[in-house]
Structure 1
Amino acid sequence: MAGIMVILDFDKTIIDIDSDNWVVDELGATDLFNQLLPTMPWNSMMDMMMKELHAQGKTIKDIEDVLKRVPIHPRVVPAIKSAHSLGCDLRVVSDANLFFIETILNHLGIRECFTEINTNPSYVDEEGRLRIFPFHDFHSSSHGCNRCPPNMCKGKIIERIQASLAIEGQKRIIYLGDGSGDFCPMLKLQEVDYSMPRKNFPVWDLISKNPGLIRAEIHEWTDGDELERVLLNLIKKITIQDSVQLLSVDCKFETIPMAVHEPLRPALPVNQ
């Protein structure tokens, strides 16, 4: 199954909520969050929120405990484990942050299913405060995409992954996402790939308004049950297609030369 890569968004795709909002709300900082939201980019604001929470005495363990309570559909973890067991290369592309994502994936017991996590970097500093930084350092330069937020263009990430796949050998991509930030990477998918937008979420609305822009085959889903069913059916479909293609390549027929016979001679007359 080395020919399949499954790329998943995190918030409202793997988990059922936005992890940033969840931490802020659960730690009682919603009002401050709403005050800061109009004043700075989201990614910068989350770094500021971690500073304020730290000043209020909230610890890293408090944040971890909140993250371990995030709601998730009961079929999502089995779906991820099944895709991994079938040999798919699973990766995360998310505008959350590394600390939140790894804390949740480790808690769910599926961190080892993913070969790569592409997200905003974060770490706990010497004072015990969580620092969150942009994936693209937009303070020094722009990533140049007007569809995406300044800190992250998921389309650029997909292009980098596609370039590496071209070197390693062709893989088909299945991309799952829900937000407006997932529209750009879905635009980068090829005809052999598959797009799995979450129905009635922002990315679905964008696709519905621009149906001709997506080259990949589109398979929508609404909840964890459908995520599991659609994803595993696509993996099965690709596996069968690849097996048939491999079989057709391997089955080479050789021409068997006909035996050369001397021409028939007319029978001699029988002497009476």
Structure 2
Amino acid sequence: MAASGGGNGVVVVFDFDKTIIDCDSDNWVVDALGATARFDDLLRRLPWNSAIDAMMGELHAEGRTVEEVAASLRAAPLSPRVAAAVETARALGCELRVLSDANAFFVGAVLDHHGLAGCFSAVDTNPAAVDADGRLRILPYHGLPGHGCPLATCPPNMCKGKVMERIIDELSCGCGGAPAARRRRVVYVGDGRGDYCPSLKLTEMDYVMPRKGYPVWDLIAGGDRAAVRADVREWADFEDLEAVLLGIVAECLTSEHDDADDDGGEAAPPAECRALPATLASVQEAILPKAVHVPN
């Protein structure tokens, strides 16, 4: 994992399923190992997190190995545009994190395979470990007595909003735990129902990037728009994700540069902005002045 702290003042927090990869990792593994019908049956009786743990137990009992699970994950679809966005944002000085309701084994297998694990300073997700018998165990992020969040969009095993509150608290602290003069901006990228709660924890200085046509977009667009204080920038596909994310980063860097410039004259763009790929320059020029319209 990459070191946290410092950087350019921007922290990008990614969901994993249908955001970094273009599938649900649990369903991908279950389908790849031929257990779709059994998993569907488990879901009729158990919460999702408990069902995927039980599914791993059944697969282990019939002789399937964790290496087979990992091999299936290495084939999960991850767009080169996502990899480019991650690597470029990291190169520009952003701190990158994952906040996911998948699990540590699945997330790690994918990021390691694509050489992206070192770009992220932290991964907050459901714990997972291989026990002494070689069986993959998947546990809830928030164990008993639960997370206590009243939002129906948060599953019982994980409230991403609670995690986002902790992240923001961490970013609000300076050296030695004293309050920072100015906390770093957060950009949150997600798609699902569980991504709504953390979006509500962001402030006017932050950004949320909901995937258009997916549950979090519907919740933001169709709900109380005033409840989401962050600047909303939609994305539909992975080309959008790259362009919108790097556009936000460029906007933040330019804003920080302007705030720090006391000369009153026209200053050169910050070096980080000049380092952005040339193919994105025209995209940024087109999108930076605009906030994405979300229906009231």
After TM superposition, the score normalised by the length of structure 1 is 0.89
Q: Percent of pairs identical after alignment?
A: 51
Secondary structure at the counterpart of residue 79 of structure 1: helix
Aligned 8 A contact 1:73 1:223 in 2: no
Secondary structure at the counterpart of residue 40 of structure 2: helix
Secondary structure at the counterpart of residue 96 of structure 1: strand
Aligned 8 A contact 1:178 1:201 in 2: yes
Which residue number corresponds to residue 229 of structure 1?
243
Match for residue 211 of structure 2 among 187, 190, 198: 198
How many residue pairs match? The answer is: 248
Which residue number corresponds to residue 262 of structure 1?
none
Secondary structure at the counterpart of residue 80 of structure 2: coil
Could you report, residue by residue, the CA deviation over 1:16-64 in whole angstroms, capped at 9, with x for unpaired residues?
A: 0000000000000011011110211100111100000001111011011
Compute the displacement of 1:102 (Å).
0.5
Aligned 8 A contact 1:51 1:129 in 2: yes
* Structure 2 residues not aligned, in runs of 5+: 1-6, 175-179, 265-296
Hey, what's the Cα distance between the residues in 2 that align with 1:183 and 1:161? 16
Secondary structure at the counterpart of residue 49 of structure 2: helix
Aligned 8 A contact 2:8 2:253 in 1: no
Aligned 8 A contact 1:197 1:220 in 2: yes
Superposition RMSD in Å: 1.0
Which residue number corresponds to residue 258 of structure 1?
none
Which residue number corresponds to residue 94 of structure 1?
100
Hey, what's the Cα distance between the residues in 2 that align with 1:162 and 1:88? 15
Secondary structure at the counterpart of residue 38 of structure 2: helix
Comparing 143-152 and 215-224, the one that deviates more: 143-152
Hey, what's the Cα distance between the residues in 1 that align with 2:196 and 2:70? 30
Runs of 4+ in 1 over 6 A off after TM superposition: none
Could you report, residue by residue, the CA deviation over 1:111-151 in whole angstroms, capped at 9, with x for unpaired residues?
A: 000000000000000110100000000xx312111221110
Which residue number corresponds to residue 240 of structure 1?
254
Which residue number corresponds to residue 111 of structure 2?
105
- Structure exhibiting the larger radius of gyration computed from Cα positions: 1
Hey, what's the Cα distance between the residues in 2 that align with 1:146 and 1:43? 19
* Structure 1 residues not aligned, in runs of 5+: 252-272
Hey, what's the Cα distance between the residues in 1 that align with 2:79 and 2:50? 29
Structure 1 counterpart of 2:231, which letter? E
Match for residue 120 of structure 2 among 86, 89, 114: 114
After TM superposition, the score normalised by the length of structure 2 is 0.82
